[in-house]
Amino acid sequence: MLTIGIDIGSVTTKGVLMSDGALLSVKSCLTGYNAERAARTIYGELLENENLRETSVNVIVATGYGRNSVPFADKTLTEIMCHAVGAPI
């Protein structure tokens, strides 16, 4: 299953592409004044980096300050929730 995670901060937008838990690609850019454009840039670069089409991606998750600026995300999570999920028990 291919998953893309996009973290939109007030300064930097980061993205990862994962396949069944394995990291395939990482990208980042400055967020600037348009968080949606930064998210679309990261999304496009991740796909291009692995020669994938949009239809290949199963899930897109957005987090961070600008998470609600990603209309193509399947799910949004707060940074706190992401930290909680990623913390070892």
Domains and CATH numbers, the chain: 2-86 (3.30.420.40)
Provide the pLDDT for residue 80.
Answer: 85
Report the chain's C-alpha Rg in angstroms. 12
Provide the pLDDT for residue 71.
Answer: 95
Provide the pLDDT for residue 84.
Answer: 82
Whether residue 82 contacts residue 27, with contact meaning beta carbons closer than 8 Å, is answered with: no
Whether residue 17 contacts residue 25, with contact meaning beta carbons closer than 8 Å, is answered with: yes
Walk across the sheet containing 75-77 and list its strands.
22-30, 12-19, 2-8, 59-63, 75-77
Provide the pLDDT for residue 81.
Answer: 86
**Residue ranges in the chain modelled with pLDDT below 70:** 89
Provide the pLDDT for residue 59.
Answer: 97
